[in-house]
């Protein structure tokens, strides 16, 4: 499917299936392709929309700076351009943050939000935090999530010092466009909607894995600040839960979406009566 012009940037998107719309939002340094384990199932029941955030995948990669607010504005305009009045959102990591921003900026566009292994504020609060987070993401790309789960304290690990590993990291970043990646990474610094969580009226499902680098207890504290939020914990999983625990993740999300569909249907019946 070709790109469409959104806020003066070419945004790549795909849409498949029929029914209520569900917008999937990928994570940092990833793309819409990361949802390959979800699209076949969910497109049987919903109209699934995936897209690449600016600076990612097949979308344009303009010079930064980028921001969570900007990513959210792109997603909101994408829905408007596709003539979608409102949609359920499923956002992973950075994508979940974008979903939170959409929920506070354009609540009329968000029926419900599934936020996966993320928080409603950036974890990067200082230069040292930024270095640790940057190391973690690079190591995740280099070694994969399995090795991250083997770390007993689940903290970001140092990047290997051998030349081959460094070359591999450089090559991977070059493919993703290093400047765009850095701009997207900086969008995490200082961002927060914590003081607006109480205003989010739509249902929220915060999915947390038991081995993510952000503890479940932290995410539970955020859930308690939202009027219609719940927490689901998926075991034996690191950060990349949609790929690591595909069946359980899909079941949890499908149950949430089905509940929203039933609620909408019942509301329509009551309004007719």
pLDDT tens digit string along 118-170? 999 986 555 565 566 656 555 544 544 344 334 333 333 333 334 443 344 33
Output the pLDDT for position 164: 42
Domains of the chain and CATH, by start: 4-122+194-272 (3.40.50.1820)
Output the pLDDT for position 121: 95
Tell me which DSSP letter residue 231 carries.
E
Residue 82: band (very low, low, confident or very high) from pLDDT cuts 50, 70, 90: very high
Pick the closest to residue 144 from 54, 243, 48, 72 (CA basis): 243
pTM over 0.75: yes
Output the pLDDT for position 186: 83
Compute the C-alpha angle 237/238/239, nearest 5°: 125
- The larger pLDDT score, comparing residue 96 to residue 144, is at 96
User: pLDDT tens for residues 163-199?
Assistant: 443 344 333 433 456 777 778 888 888 899 999 999 9
Pick the closest to residue 40 from 12, 17, 14 (CA basis): 17
Question: What dihedral angle (degrees, nearest 10) is formed by the CA atoms of 40, 41, 42, 47?
Answer: 50
Element (H, E) at 234: strand 229-234
- The larger pLDDT score, comparing residue 89 to residue 190, is at 89
CA atoms within 13 A on the CB side of 98: 29
- Whether the pLDDT of residue 86 is over 60: the answer is yes
Parallel/antiparallel/unpaired status of strands 47-51 and 110-116: unpaired
């Amino acid at each position: 499917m070709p790109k469409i012009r959104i806020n003066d940037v070419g945004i790549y998107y795909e849409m498949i299936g029929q029914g209520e719309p569900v917008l999937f939002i990928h994570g940092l340094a990833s793309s819409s392709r990361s949802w390959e384990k979800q699209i076949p199932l969910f497109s049987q029941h919903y109209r699934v929309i995936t897209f690449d955030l600016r600076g990612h995948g097949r979308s344009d990669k303009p010079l930064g700076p980028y921001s969570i607010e900007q990513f959210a504005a792109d997603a909101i305009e994408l829905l408007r351009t596709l003539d979608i009045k409102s949609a359920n959102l499923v956002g992973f990591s950075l994508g979940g943050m974008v979903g939170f921003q959409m929920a506070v900026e354009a609540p009329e566009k968000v029926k419900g939000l599934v936020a996966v292994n993320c928080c409603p504020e950036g974890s990067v609060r200082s230069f040292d935090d930024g270095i640790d987070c940057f190391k973690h993401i690079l190591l995740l790309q280099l070694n994969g999530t399995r090795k991250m789960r083997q770390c007993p304290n689940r903290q970001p690990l140092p990047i290997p010092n051998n030349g081959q590993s460094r070359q591999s990291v450089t090559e991977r970043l070059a493919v993703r466009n290093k400047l765009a990646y850095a701009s997207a990474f900086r969008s995490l610094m200082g961002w927060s909607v914590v003081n607006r969580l109480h205003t989010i009226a739509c249902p929220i499902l915060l999915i947390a894995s038991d081995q993510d680098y952000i503890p479940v207890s932290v995410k539970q504290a955020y859930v308690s600040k939202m009027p219609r939020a719940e927490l689901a914990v998926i075991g034996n999983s690191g950060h990349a839960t949609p790929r690591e625990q595909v069946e359980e993740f899909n079941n949890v999300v499908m149950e949430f979406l089905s509940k929203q569909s039933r609620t909408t249907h019942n509301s329509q019946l009551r309004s007719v009566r």
